[in-house]
A and B are shown apart, each in its own frame.
Chain A
């Protein structure tokens, strides 16, 4: 297939996944604000959401203070923020439009109608009762996108590049979320426990749809290291780093070989760390360091995919 087509497919899926993850972060942060004493100030509550989005500087360029209203608008609807849900969905749709001949018409119509429906939220004041509805809508549109593409597209290389985009983006988002939250929630040498921690950690779990999975796997109280284990090492947890990398290596294995070796090597290395890693060792070296390394490694893998397949030169 055309390299440019593969590129558009890959980014289309990444942007949809990005929008979904942004919606999850917004939703959970908003929920936290309902818990008494959860955070000392709006800034303490909403600052981390900006951090997860990697949008702190962009926000500070436009605003002097951190308020719930402004952060929500900035992350959800602001066209000036390149990682807002608005920007992500617009980019997803523009990428889809560029390859509408290469995706099934159902997939295209799904993204196109997503974009048309988005207009209804554009002028809404989300904080005033519509944020939850909005986030639910984004999540369900993303689920629908994956379902429609999975169920209607030929499972050929086009589909594989699309799926690669989904999992590279998801791995990045889960790692960032966990890193920011763990950092915040686990001040040095402090005892853990109490209602606030419970809410905080259950919120983190809910933000990656892992609350029920946690109960099922551990059927025990919520402990931070178990949350980390679930989101890093569990292969059967769909948004964990291990699950993402398993998908990625399996997809890379199926792609045409000649240009693939460096991608396979980088992915294999990342995958092995998750597959054979033990949580105690990860904690010994520092979870933060581990996650930081992972984000860099995952990013390199993305660049390598880009170099090998998507920006293919004449040779």
Chain B
């Protein structure tokens, strides 16, 4: 994708001078020949390949997986910046959890007129969850908040991921790799550690077992070894020391879920599931699902097991709900949002639709339920023909789309074939909710490896960087 973005904010250099936070690193970088960086990059690739930090591409042969490109230049954040981002992300998740509880119970926010009633007809709204009380009122136990930056103090939330957000294993493995490749930098800088994430996650999951269970058994449920994120599932299960289960390993008896073990059935209390709502129980959702557990939903609704994330969180992370998050924060928490939304046009509103159609070439248009960078139009990068085709798609169902101004996402120096060059980045920190809401000081930083590209998704060739929060 070739698009001209006027002078995007660069994380390292402003007018050719390193920002304070980068000063020492920029100095080190200028004294390090690009060949040395390249050899470190190759070393990393070899190690990632050997360790099997890979993702599967659907339809490719067994025994062949791909690497997500890893960049050896980290993204740096000052403690002050991290405080803003983490306070803002945790504030959002608090409000979103309260919203989810509300929307499946008394629906106060609808009666207050802040969110339209049409949300109840949303395909991700799960009537099965109405009146169900989940432990601690927590729905989104693990949330990934996508944040972009356009200037020194301009951060925007692009998206809230509340279903089965992925990528945290790259946050952890990228850090481990960086410490191995550049130990001298870690001695020079005081980089806030992230390695305790699995420990925090396990504690959070234990905390949301049904009340009264002494030593809750937690498992991680994966769709299986051919899922694109399988490495991450195996990695997190291993780091937490819990069983990695598939649907076929679980069964329902009475009001409980058990796993089949070599010693007979064993009761399961909390399922961290990395499998979508539609596939968890063929009796309640997709009857063709081979991945799920028949009867799981009934046990769940009756309080026999905890699912993380809860069923029905998709209604809160979709792009048509996103626009209401600032209102939720004010409504539930009585606070002003710390992080801003990207201004968003709702194409279901006739005047906004007209504006978008008139300015299509300047805007980014996204499908309301799209994810992974699919089904979106980046106006400035699109051809005449693509614009015309997308216009027709919008007109056939305007409410399926939202539009946003094309943001000049910040760039970060990145090692590419030609040497170091600026590439656009975003940031996905992970927010954990259990007894309390918490984060580790770090995030997955995604980088668009192609020049000028704004699409950072790994399914579209994006890479990752380690993120350093500096004290």
Contacts and interface: CB of A to CB of B under 8 A. Distances in A.
Of residues B237, B248, B258, B261, which shows the largest number of chain A Cβ atoms within 10 Å of its Cβ?
B261
Interface in A246-281: 255-256, 258-259
A33 interface: no
Given A2-B245, A115-B63, A97 B52 contact: yes
Given A100-B52, A108-B52, A112-B50, A2 B63 contact: no
A1 B262 CA distance: 6
Given A94-B225, A97-B225, A112 B52 contact: yes
Given A93-B63, A109-B52, A112-B50, A4 B263 contact: no
Interface of A: 1-6, 90, 93-94, 97-102, 105, 108-109, 112-113, 115-116, 157, 161, 255-256, 258-259, 309-310, 312-314
Contact of A312 (B51, B238, B246, B264): B264
Interface in B43-87: 49-52, 62-63
Interface in B200-236: 224-225, 230, 233-235
Interface in B233-263: 233-235, 237-238, 243-246, 248-249, 251, 253, 258-263
Contact of A100 (B234, B253, B264, B265): B234
Contacts, number: 80
Contact of B243 (A5, A255, A256, A310): A5
Contacts of B63: 90, 93-94, 115
Given A101-B234, A101-B237, A314-B253, A4 B248 contact: yes
A79 B260 CA distance: 33
Contacts of B225: 94, 97-98
A109 B233 CA distance: 17
Q: Which 7 A-B pairs have the closest CB atoms?
A: A101-B238, A101-B234, A101-B237, A101-B244, A256-B263, A309-B262, A98-B225
A102 B239 CA distance: 11
Given A109-B51, A112-B50, A2 B259 contact: yes
A1 B261 contact: yes
A108 B258 CA distance: 28
A3 B249 contact: yes
B237 A258 contact: no
A233 to B, nearest CB: 32
Contacts of B52: 97, 100, 108-109, 112
B235 A255 contact: no
B262 A116 contact: no
B238 A2 contact: no
